[in-house]
Amino acid sequence: MEKRSANIPGSSPGLTWPPLIRGTLVKRYKRFLADIRLVDGTIITAHCTNSGRMDTCSQPGRPVYISRATNPKRKLKYTWELIEMPGSLVGVNTLLPNRLVADAIATGQVAALTGYTNLKREVSVGERSRLDICLSGGRRRRCYVEVKNCTLVKNGRACFPDAVTTRGLKHLNELQNLVRAGHRGVIFFLIQRMDATVFSPADPIDPDYGKGLRQAVCDGVEILVFDVFIDLNRICLRREIAVDLNRKPIG
Q: Taking the model in full, what pTM does it have?
A: 0.92
> Which is higher by pLDDT, 70 or 46?
46
Instruction: For 101, list phi and psi in degrees, rounded to 5.
Output: -65, -40
Percent helix, percent strand, percent coil in the chain, to nearest 5:
15, 40, 40
pLDDT tens track for 40-55: 999 999 999 999 999 9
Q: Which domains does the chain have, with CATH numbers?
A: 16-88 (2.40.50.580), 96-243 (3.40.1350.60)
Give residue 126's pLDDT band: very low, low, confident or very high (50, 70, 90).
Answer: confident
pLDDT tens track for 2-35: 333 444 444 567 999 999 999 999 999 999 999 9
Peptide bond into 60 cis (omega under 30): no
